[in-house]
Structure 1
Amino acid sequence: MTIATERRWRLGRDVRSRSLRYLPLTTLVLDLALIVVAVVLAALGRESFGIFPSPADVSENLSTAGPLVVLGWLAMLVTAGAYGASAFGAGTEEYKRVLNGSLGAAGLVGVGCFFADYPLSRGFYFLSFAIGIPALLLGRFVVRSVLHQARRRGNLLHRVVIAGSPAHVDEIAAVLRRESWLGYRVVGALTPAHYLEEETRSGIPVLGNSDDITAVVLDSGADVVFIAGGALGSSTQMRRLAWDLEHERVQVVVAPSVTDVSSERIRVRPVGGLPLMHIDPPRATDASRWGKRLFDLIGSSGLILVFGPLFVLAAVQIKLHDRGPVLFRQTRVGQDGREFPCLKFRTMVVDAESRLQDLHAQEGYEDGLFKMKEDPRVTRPGRWLRRLSLDELPQLFNVLRGEMSLVGPRPPLPLEVARYEGDTARRLRVRPGMTGLWQVSGRSDLSWSEAVRLDLYYVDNWSMLQDISILVKTLRAVFGSRGAY
């Protein structure tokens, strides 16, 4: 590396780091602006909306209380850790801190006015927090969305060095590459002294030995160092590494050999100075209980009523096109290997199945779900039904009958199930879904292995909140027509 190249490289790294350091301050300024707007709107709207009307004139009190509410609210957010660098970018912790700080501010203002016998307008108090709390949460969502988009474009990235055995390094690097929105760019690896290759199997350059982590990390200009399995021989080395980097702008992250486990299943409990990670059992059983079934019954019934006109429109167009059957019934495999007729609006010609073998040979099909762009078997009404995923609406009746769920793994064909290997059969432990992580993450654009990984993640980490989130994201994926053909 030439001196000029190294200088440009370090300059780029410094610009990224400096921009990231400004993120908490930028967010604080945004929160301050939102709180001021909420307080002003509350002062103006307390009489207009007629909330907790009072014959007394409290305008002068508001001119004093308003700035105190703003400063106290912001102070509570700071106290709750809403501007800590670790809170930004991923997970729900950021939103929890904003909510806890805001509720703490509301409680502090209420209790303070009570003990001080201060005549604060109840309408002003209610509107301030009723407007301000949702505004703050929405503001954080917008900031996070902008941050993720910037990272996907290669901006605001952390430079990462991973220390550990080559296999662990490649495993962590694969996750960081896949989840590009996290903002981690792997620039090199540190491997045990006995590993003499210049690169790992996935092509990550080896910068040195894991015995020299501090020196190599500082020389490389990394912002973050991941400590994976095989990096350190004892807890003493880990402690010394933390001491060596305590005055540097380098974050140390310990990456255990655990992947595809949701945060709800992980608990860290320090015992005698030893941080123990507790992992709760997989939640496949929870995904089959009455709560999810009740959710499916209510949801499918409501959606059938809402989409009733679309059912009629699609059925009429399909029938008028070629006088063939409206519905297509295909045998799929459901929970615990039970087969059922999966319903769809027919979007292909009547003899589509007989043409399938020729298309397999033409496209070089080997395994997994077969789909192709510009499939010649698709009819004219079938194209718009597929583009908007309306062809799958009849599956609401499969959900109503208990054969499927609104959210779950994709229902596989018997031929696919016969070829399952290893852990893939765990997909059958829950009801298949009309939508799932596989759909909101790319639909037909996903590889077979990635679709299986997402389905297994769903099975092991099920939660009702995740189901609701997937349903919301499905609408965005459908209207965006991403991966649909």
Structure 2
Amino acid sequence: MRTQPAPDAARGTDPRSATDGVAGPPLPERDVRAKRPPVLRFLLRLDTARRLGRVLSLLLLDLLGVFAAIFTALMIKYFARDAFEFSTVIDQTKQYASFAYLVTALLFARSDMYGHRSVRPGLTRIVASLFQVMVVSLIYAVVSGETFSSYYLFYGSLAFAVAYVSTLRFAYERITGYLLSAAGYERRAVLVGSGQHIEQVAHALKAGDAGGIHLVGFISLTPRPDNGLRSLGSLEDLSDILARGGIDEVIIADPDFPQPQAVDLVDRCHQRGVRVRVAPSTMEILIHRAEFLPGQSVPLFELKPPVFEGVDFALKRSFDLLVASVMLLLLSPVLLVAALAVRLTSRGPIIYRSIRPGIGGVPFACFKFRTMYRDADQVQAELEDANEASGAIFKIKDDPRITPVGKVLRRFSLDELPQLANVLKGDMSLVGPRPLPQRDFDRLEDWHRKRYLVLPGITGLWQVSGRSDLDFDDLVRLDFLYLERWSPSLDLTILVKTIPAVLSRRGAF
């Protein structure tokens, strides 16, 4: 990262043009790997100190998060037994936290959690690594002969660690990001590729959290497209562009980028100390579920259908049963209050049984707290022209069919809580593609129906990625992304991120 580039006079001119009008061969570019002058060596030492400070501060935050998580879990345990003593809890926390923190630091380092902010993973990797810490700690305790009346300490500490560590790191990212932004730091990037791919990657970087990336412009191998970015010229102009300074990285936004030109591009960028990144293609995403088939004359990889079977299904189903049971128990007061509010404010049943296609398109009764008046289904046909959603979905922001209590329940997704019973019945999963009403299902295109290869979910990537702010086709693509990259840690991450998404009411109506 760097501040805004200085004027050309301060940066110096391109050495290849410093011929004072005398014709001759261009001078070679200066390789950043050459010996550096004393001033630059001093600045690099400052950069090393800054990196060390970043690693130490993140290590300290992780230590606080792990220690606080174990302390909280033990405190609740002793409070439940009415035997809480602060000194005892502190001593046991120190005993368990030393090993847990060591494993956490090692696994976090392996996942590049202490790297530069531009490459540091987010919540998904935090949850996955902490889950691995719990498994390693549990195995170590069992092998060491430790005995426990229950294993609450492990999964309780995991839950609090996810909350504390992710919150501390989120605060760190926001604070340091604000300070860097206030200081004028940003990563200035150039997109290189063909027109369509450049536009897609640029849109994704602008729509998502690009980590402080400022797109300076693009270099297109095809006729220059009109994508709202500034054209910087052709690939032959790359050396001149980098020589002018102010570029931190070059992003190759084309899966079919010619290999010889890619090798030359990488070498020219590295000579200038510019990072090179490659945006993934569809095949790179699909290869995550490819399985190698040995014994073939040509190495082949099979792309298996994205369904949950065998160990994956058993693991996901066990997770669903455990978490849904606990949530029903903990949220029973909320369920009771919501049920009374529905009953006392409007006529009709408390629970609305919405018949929706489930796995394989087989219909099932999806339970919801009733949020509409009794004649809502009959009135919908008259409101089709007022539909505000794209694609197959029917949504109206100020739907006249919704009761006052229903608006509150929908605003915070409380109307979905009865679907925990659907999870216990086996009709739904905690996390998965959202089940659509029959009316919406009938309007789906063929390629949309791939989302029905698995059990529908109470929450999913829709809920944590913008909800109804997104175009319907983008929502379906999120379902496909979930199917391709499913893991227990991804399910846990989505569940954790659903809470702030619901509380912030992002995209909900």
> When the two structures are superposed, what TM-score results if normalisation uses the length of structure 1?
0.69
Distance 2:370 2:497 in 1: 25
> Do the aligned partners of 1:95 and 1:140 also contact (CA within 8 Å) in 2?
no
- Aligned residue for 1:30? 57
- Aligned residue for 2:212? 183
Gap change, CA 1:382 and 1:85, over 3 Å in 2: closer
Distance 1:259 1:349 in 2: 47
**Displacement of 1:253:** 1.4
> Do the aligned partners of 1:335 and 1:430 also contact (CA within 8 Å) in 2?
yes
Gap change, CA 1:303 and 1:79, over 3 Å in 2: closer
Post-superposition Cα deviations, 1:204-258, rounded to whole Å, max 9, x if no partner, equal 22211123323234336321111243785443x4333333333423111133423
| Residue of 416, 423, 448 corresponding to 1:424 | 448
- Give the SS at the match of 1:303: helix
- Aligned residue for 1:121? none
Distance 1:76 1:323 in 2: 55
- Aligned residue for 2:265? 241
Gap change, CA 1:277 and 1:209, over 3 Å in 2: farther
Distance 1:151 1:277 in 2: 47
Distance 2:472 2:448 in 1: 11
> Do the aligned partners of 1:409 and 1:433 also contact (CA within 8 Å) in 2?
yes
**Displacement of 1:152:** 10
1:480 alignment partner AA: S
Gap change, CA 1:226 and 1:257, over 3 Å in 2: same
Post-superposition Cα deviations, 1:414-463, rounded to whole Å, max 9, x if no partner, equal 23233322531111011111111101122222221221121111112111
Give yes or no for the alignment of 1:225 onto 2:254. Answer: no
> Do the aligned partners of 2:289 and 2:484 also contact (CA within 8 Å) in 1?
no
- Aligned residue for 2:405? 381
Bigger drift between 254-263 and 164-173 goes to: 254-263
Equivalences for 1:148-297 in 2 at 5 Å?
156-192=185-221, 195-197=222-224, 200-219=225-244, 221-229=246-254, 233-235=258-260, 237-258=261-282, 261=285, 281=304, 283-286=306-309, 289-297=313-321
| Residue of 406, 421, 446 corresponding to 1:397 | 421
- Give the SS at the match of 2:244: helix
> Do the aligned partners of 1:217 and 1:225 also contact (CA within 8 Å) in 2?
no
> Do the aligned partners of 1:440 and 1:470 also contact (CA within 8 Å) in 2?
yes
Distance 1:418 1:379 in 2: 27
2:437 alignment partner AA: L
Distance 1:434 1:49 in 2: 39
Distance 1:346 1:448 in 2: 25
Compare relative contact order (CA 8 Å, sep 6+) and give the higher one, 1 or 2: 2
Distance 1:317 1:259 in 2: 50
Post-superposition Cα deviations, 1:29-77, rounded to whole Å, max 9, x if no partner, equal 5257669999xx9xxx999955699xxxxxxxxxxxxxxxxxxxx9999
1:387 alignment partner AA: R
> Do the aligned partners of 2:195 and 2:223 also contact (CA within 8 Å) in 1?
no
- Give the SS at the match of 2:281: coil
> Do the aligned partners of 1:438 and 1:451 also contact (CA within 8 Å) in 2?
yes
Gap change, CA 1:243 and 1:266, over 3 Å in 2: farther
1:222 alignment partner AA: I
Give yes or no for the alignment of 1:85 onto 2:116. Answer: yes
> Do the aligned partners of 1:211 and 1:232 also contact (CA within 8 Å) in 2?
no
- Give the SS at the match of 1:466: helix
Post-superposition Cα deviations, 1:248-304, rounded to whole Å, max 9, x if no partner, equal 23111133423783996599xxxxxxxx99897564335971221122222222222
Gap change, CA 1:186 and 1:351, over 3 Å in 2: same
Distance 2:354 2:181 in 1: 39
Distance 1:136 1:308 in 2: 28
Equivalences for 1:310-321 in 2 at 5 Å?
310-321=334-345
- Aligned residue for 2:16? none
- Give the SS at the match of 2:232: strand
| Residue of 264, 287, 299 corresponding to 2:323 | 299
- Aligned residue for 1:57? none
Distance 1:52 1:420 in 2: 53
- Give the SS at the match of 2:496: helix
- Aligned residue for 1:465? 489
Post-superposition Cα deviations, 1:79-130, rounded to whole Å, max 9, x if no partner, equal 997754377433589969x99xx9xxxxxxxxxxxxxxxxxxxxxxxxxxxx
Distance 1:141 1:7 in 2: 36
- Give the SS at the match of 1:359: helix
- Give the SS at the match of 1:226: strand
Distance 1:205 1:333 in 2: 47
Gap change, CA 1:231 and 1:293, over 3 Å in 2: closer
Gap change, CA 1:196 and 1:464, over 3 Å in 2: closer
**Displacement of 1:364:** 6.1
Distance 1:297 1:76 in 2: 29
Distance 2:342 2:255 in 1: 60
Distance 1:385 1:150 in 2: 39
Distance 1:309 1:52 in 2: 32
Gap change, CA 1:249 and 1:439, over 3 Å in 2: same
Distance 2:450 2:181 in 1: 32
Post-superposition Cα deviations, 1:360-416, rounded to whole Å, max 9, x if no partner, equal 223466632222222222112212212221111111111111111111111012232
Q: How much identity, in percent, do the aligned residues show? A: 33
> Do the aligned partners of 2:347 and 2:373 also contact (CA within 8 Å) in 1?
no
Distance 1:212 1:484 in 2: 47
Post-superposition Cα deviations, 1:139-181, rounded to whole Å, max 9, x if no partner, equal 5454335456789999743211111111221222222222234
Gap change, CA 1:348 and 1:161, over 3 Å in 2: same
2:246 alignment partner AA: G
